[in-house]
Amino acid sequence: MAGIYIHIPFCKQACNYCDFHFSTSLKNKEAFLNALNKEIELQKDYLLTKKISTVYFGGGTPSLLEQTELMRIFDSLNKYYEIDSDAEITLEANPDDLTKNKIKELRSTPINRFSIGIQSFYDEDLKLMNRAHNSQEAISGVKGAQDAGFENITIDLIYGIPGLTEHRWRNNLQNAFLLDVKHISAYCLTVEPKTVLAHQVKTGIIKNVDELQSSEQFEIMLEAMKKNNFVQYEISNFCKEGQYSRHNSNYWLKEKYLGLGPSAHSFNGESRQWNISNNALYIKSLENNTLDFELEQLNIEQRYNEYILTSLRTMWGSDLERIGSDFGNEFKEHCLKEVKKYIETADITIETNTLFLTDKGKLIADKIASDLFKV
């Protein structure tokens, strides 16, 4: 079943580690919404299906949108697509946006899942990352959503933060478990080029991310998640049994999806395309009934490489039979040849013709995947 991703390119303030496309000015919000609705119309045939099983509002900060603005988007989606009655509909939200009145308004929309960007329960970490919320708002935002009847909630955490001790990281995890959420995403802090964090590291204002500290905190996290009955179904994603993110799982399982909004990516199985990462130019193109995007037609090597990169990160692994049937025996034999050294070092296991990363292998997942690529 296909999914739709909607990029809302606005934030109150810039987190210093973020390299996603966004603007801290809301002056073009109305023009953006008009352009987005036009894009929904223009892209109505992209997926070759009207059946939609997931909708995901990402960003940016989608929780900046008012209830009426969200409903305008849903009206356009319903006009051109058939959204399943049990579709997973996620809104990314900052804790400080989730006031009692805001949550009440969101309860009257089709949204049934929150992805709440907590990152840390320590104010010093939040200040270091220039987050807009504080630790108390992190807790009250989740509890307020739960009290209003939202049961499907995931929270984001970040480890590897300079100065984040083992003790504080364990407490962050424990605080997450105490909130009784069913899904947790946890990411290692990455210093992306051209971000404020990159400049701060370069100029010595902040220490660089310590790889050994990050690895140790990753291992602490795996142990704590298992102890609290969370399944690691993708390297950075954990859930209670059966509470997977359907939208993100579709990405990893190579399902088709349509990306709407500036910088959003789309994938139809054969090609990938991405919209221009500029709000003004995005709006201008759609005012002229066109969409400014780049297109990449994927050859068989690229499709195989993408399958390896995404599937190997998951609990479902890389299926050798699927590699043979989808890409040919040449690719299957190549994969088996290159993976031998990682089986010998216990970074990968092979079971029922499927490759799985071990906990040890998860620490070097990107390197393993790149070594299995066909170039």
The 3-state secondary structure of 213-234, one letter per residue: HHHHHHHHHHHHHHHCCCEEEE
- Final residue of a domain: which of 252, 269, 285? 252
What is the model's pLDDT at position 48?
A: 82
- Please indicate, yes or no, if residue 336 is contained in any of the structural domains: yes
Co-location of 339 and 206 in the same domain = no
Q: What is the percent of the chain where pLDDT is above 70?
A: 100
What is the model's pLDDT at position 41?
A: 97
* Residue 1 confidence (pLDDT) above 80: no
Q: Give how many domains the chain has, as a whole number.
A: 2
Co-location of 235 and 362 in the same domain = no
Q: What is the mean pLDDT of residues 124-132?
A: 96
DSSP 3-state assignment of 118? strand
Task: Give just the sign of the alpha carbon dihedral 256, 261, 265, 268.
Answer: positive
- Please indicate, yes or no, if residue 287 is contained in any of the structural domains: no
Co-location of 56 and 133 in the same domain = yes
Range of the structural domain that residue 244 is part of: 2-252
Compute the distance between CA of residue 12 and CA of residue 93 in angstroms, rounded to an integer.
12
pLDDT digits (tens, 9 = 90+) for 195-249: 999 999 999 999 999 999 999 999 999 999 999 999 999 999 999 999 999 999 9
* Residue 316 confidence (pLDDT) above 90: yes
Angle in degrees, 0-180, between the axes of helices 211-227 and 166-178, rounded to the nearest 10: 30
User: What are the start-end ranges of the E strands in 67-179?
Assistant: 82-93, 113-119, 152-159
Q: pLDDT class for 278, splitting at 50, 70, 90?
A: very high
Q: pLDDT class for 271, splitting at 50, 70, 90?
A: very high
CB contact burial 287-321 (16+ within 10 A = b; e otherwise):
eeeebebeeeebeeebbbbbbbbbbbbbeebbbbe
- Please indicate, yes or no, if residue 278 is contained in any of the structural domains: no
Co-location of 234 and 338 in the same domain = no
* Residue 261 confidence (pLDDT) above 80: yes
Co-location of 318 and 203 in the same domain = no
Co-location of 100 and 159 in the same domain = yes
What is the model's pLDDT at position 193?
A: 95
Query: Tokens 């390119």 appear where?
Result: 9
- Please indicate, yes or no, if residue 277 is contained in any of the structural domains: no
What is the model's pLDDT at position 50?
A: 72
Co-location of 163 and 307 in the same domain = no
Co-location of 142 and 63 in the same domain = yes
Residues sharing a CB contact under 8 Å with residue 202, sequence separation 6 or more, in sequence order: none
Q: What is the mean pLDDT of residues 278-296?
A: 97
Compute the distance between CA of residue 270 and CA of residue 329 in angstroms, rounded to an integer.
20
DSSP 3-state assignment of 262? coil
Co-location of 205 and 120 in the same domain = yes
Q: Of 347, 360, 352, 359, whose CA–CA distance to 372 is shortest?
A: 347
- Please indicate, yes or no, if residue 288 is contained in any of the structural domains: no
- Please indicate, yes or no, if residue 363 is contained in any of the structural domains: yes
DSSP 3-state assignment of 52? strand
Q: Of 115, 355, 58, 322, whose CA–CA distance to 237 is shortest?
A: 115
Q: At 348, which CATH number?
A: 1.10.10.920
Compute the distance between CA of residue 156 and CA of residue 256 in angstroms, rounded to an integer.
25
Co-location of 216 and 360 in the same domain = no
Q: At 25, which CATH number?
A: 3.80.30.20
What is the model's pLDDT at position 188?
A: 97
Structure token pair of residue 162? 């300079």
Count CB neighbours of 68 within 10 A.
Answer: 9
Q: Tell me which H or E stretch contains 136.
A: helix 135-147
- Please indicate, yes or no, if residue 40 is contained in any of the structural domains: yes
DSSP 3-state assignment of 65? coil
Co-location of 12 and 126 in the same domain = yes
Are the C-beta atoms of 292 and 281 separated by less than 8 Å?
A: yes
- Please indicate, yes or no, if residue 282 is contained in any of the structural domains: no
pLDDT digits (tens, 9 = 90+) for 330-360: 999 999 999 999 999 999 999 999 999 999 9
- Final residue of a domain: which of 236, 252, 268? 252
What is the model's pLDDT at position 254?
A: 87
What 8-state DSSP symbol labels residue 207? Answer: P
